[in-house]
Amino acid sequence: MLGVLYESYVHPLTILSTLPSAGVGALLALMAFKTEFSIMALIGVILLIGIVKKNAIMMIDFALEAERGRGLEPLEAIREACLLRFRPIMMTTMAALLGAVPLAVGMGDGGELRQPLGIAIVGGLILSQVLTLYTTPVIYLYLDRFRLWALRVRHGGAMRMPGSSLQPGE
């Protein structure tokens, strides 16, 4: 679905590259609090994947629109996307994180059942945000360069790609 949305097979990989850090963060948090990976923790990871994916989509979508609509270079486009989408991404993350804190604390009736859900969400959001705010722009640029290289190879290296400062043979 993302390939159709972005008219590319490359940029969906950029978005999907953010997901492993969310899962690792959730598992590390569960291990740190000596909590078993239960069905509730799995539900937390699924929720976490949706939030992290949405944050990456906000950044990549903005960068691609800047490239295509305003003719910005990939570096300029992703830089602007990072600057302008930082606040909405952090607001979404903080709302989910602070909403999961009461679940992670696990007080009240049935708190021990909901605790793995909260721990998975809080741990996953913290680690994924720290990592993806740095890695998503880097992966975006590397995969964009890979896309341009693949197009040059396919067309015999005799063309300059629009929106790229790379010349044939670079």
Which pLDDT score, from 0 to 100, does residue 9 have?
Answer: 79
Which pLDDT score, from 0 to 100, does residue 169 have?
Answer: 47
Is residue 66 in a domain? yes
Which pLDDT score, from 0 to 100, does residue 1 have?
Answer: 72
CA-wise closest residue to 104 among 120, 93, 91: 120
**Residues composing the chain:** 170
How far apart are alpha carbons 112 and 100 in whole angstroms? 14
What are the residue ranges of helices labelled H in the chain?
Answer: 2-6, 11-16, 19-32, 39-70, 74-105, 111-154
Alpha carbon 95 to its chain centroid, in Å, reads 17
How far apart are alpha carbons 20 and 142 in whole angstroms? 18
Is residue 40 in a domain? yes
Is residue 168 in a domain? no
Is residue 169 in a domain? no
Q: What is the pTM of this model?
A: 0.79
Which pLDDT score, from 0 to 100, does residue 95 have?
Answer: 95
Tell me which residues of the chain have a pLDDT lower than 70: 2-6, 157-170
Is residue 36 in a domain? yes
Tell me the residue range of the domain where 146 lies: 2-154
Residues 95-127 pLDDT 10s: 999 999 998 997 778 888 889 999 999 999 999
* 109 DSSP 8-state letter: T
Asked if residue 132 lies in contact with residue 52, where contact means CB atoms within 8 angstroms, the answer is yes
How far apart are alpha carbons 49 and 55 in whole angstroms? 10
Is residue 166 in a domain? no
Could you give the number of structural domains in the chain? Answer: 1
Which pLDDT score, from 0 to 100, does residue 112 have?
Answer: 84
CATH number, domain with residue 74: 1.20.1640.10
Is residue 161 in a domain? no
Which amino acid type is present at position 47?
L
Which pLDDT score, from 0 to 100, does residue 162 have?
Answer: 54
Which pLDDT score, from 0 to 100, does residue 6 have?
Answer: 67
Is residue 165 in a domain? no
